[in-house]
Structure 1
Amino acid sequence: MALVTRKRLVRLAKGFFPALCRPDDAWALARLAPDEAALYQAMDVRDREHNVAVAKLLLERWPDAPNCAVRAALIHDAGKSLRPYNVWERVFTALFERWAPAVEPYPLREGLTGAWQVRLHHPRYAADRIADPCVAEIVRLHHEGGPLWAERLHEVDHGF
């Protein structure tokens, strides 16, 4: 079992106390297309903070990252805002992800089934709402792998 890092404990604390989050919204919004900015702004403050951290780390590791990869990093979790996804659901589905039941992405459901849908299908939910095909592809595949920048986004995202 992996050690619990300080970073993960801080993230868990912010999960329960979102007022502790301070996403760099100005930095993010300056990089996003208008439709992407709307997706970003619809996200929970915790997801915005995480996505900004992921985008900045992506740029730190690969300063030559294309604009579409940075934008994808900024909205890669936007699918989680499709339905309320409370902290208990987030924690439960993260802890038991290995045993997640196979659930179809649609229709979107309430309760724990809906939480599993969000956990499993949030990349698709976000990608389906992104106009730029490059950004949409990276977001859609950031959990599955695939193209280079989807792989790199996955690597950076799972470092948190």
Structure 2
Amino acid sequence: MAFRLLQNLRHLPAKVGRLSRSLRASQARPDDAWALGLLTPAEARLYLGMDARDREHACRVTRGLLAAHPQASPALRAAALLHDCGKSLRPYRVHERVLVGLVPGRLSRALPFGALYVRGAHPALGAELVRRIGGRARVAELVERHHTPGGDAEAALLHRFDDLE
């Protein structure tokens, strides 16, 4: 328990930075042209349907992952760009972005209310979106596992770089 708390506190500055950048969609600067080159046409449409702040975050996660692992598979690259696509099912208001940013993931999965529900369920919701639009099966699998990778090495990489961002 104490180790987990220390681990969460270590990532707090990055989380606060991300939260401050996410308050206004007009301030987001996702590198969409670069990202679209890593996605199939169907996945690209799904990506473009995401909030600009989530696309910017996805680009940072993907660039960080590729800097450390340039040999990452095409599916992992795409999953890094789409890992939060499940959040697009219910756009957050500013106060909800702050709230869900402060509530730990485990707690949000236990609270089936509005934005907290989407925060907790977004991996499964996103995976279903990827499947529904005809995205790659492995991309959907990685999106679904990006918070609970189990023994999947690629999902663990995605989780690590998402957590660092």
The TM-score bracket by the shorter chain reads 0.7 to 0.9
Pairwise mapping of residues 76-95 of structure 1 onto structure 2 (< 5 A)?
76-95=83-102
Q: Does 1:102 align with 2:106?
A: no
Q: Provide the C-alpha distance between the structure 2 equivalents of 1:12 and 1:136, rounded to a whole number of angstroms.
A: 26
How much identity, in percent, do the aligned residues show?
A: 43
Q: Provide the C-alpha distance between the structure 2 equivalents of 1:101 and 1:153, rounded to a whole number of angstroms.
A: 19
Corresponding position of 1:152: 157
1:90-118 CA-to-partner distances (Å, cap 9, x unmatched) read: 221221225436256xxxxxxxx111111
* Shift >6 Å, 4+ stretches: none
Match of 2:48 among 41, 47, 60: 41
| Matched letter for residue 150 of structure 1 | A
Q: Provide the C-alpha distance between the structure 1 equivalents of 2:74 and 2:108, rounded to a whole number of angstroms.
A: 34
Q: TM-score, normalised by structure 1?
A: 0.86
From the two aligned structures, give the one with the greater helix fraction.
Answer: 2
| Matched letter for residue 120 of structure 1 | G
1:59-109 CA-to-partner distances (Å, cap 9, x unmatched) read: 1111110000000000100000001222211221221225436256xxxxx
Q: Which gives a bigger RCO, structure 1 or 2 (Cα 8 Å, sep 6+)? A: 2
RMSD, matched Cα: 1.8
Corresponding position of 1:138: 142
Q: Relative to structure 2, which stretch is displaced further, 26-35 or 16-25?
A: 16-25
Counterparts in 2 of 1:143 and 1:87: CA distance versus 1, 3 Å: same
Q: TM-score, normalised by structure 2?
A: 0.84
Q: How many residues align?
A: 151
Q: Does 1:70 align with 2:77?
A: yes
Q: Provide the C-alpha distance between the structure 2 equivalents of 1:10 and 1:60, rounded to a whole number of angstroms.
A: 20
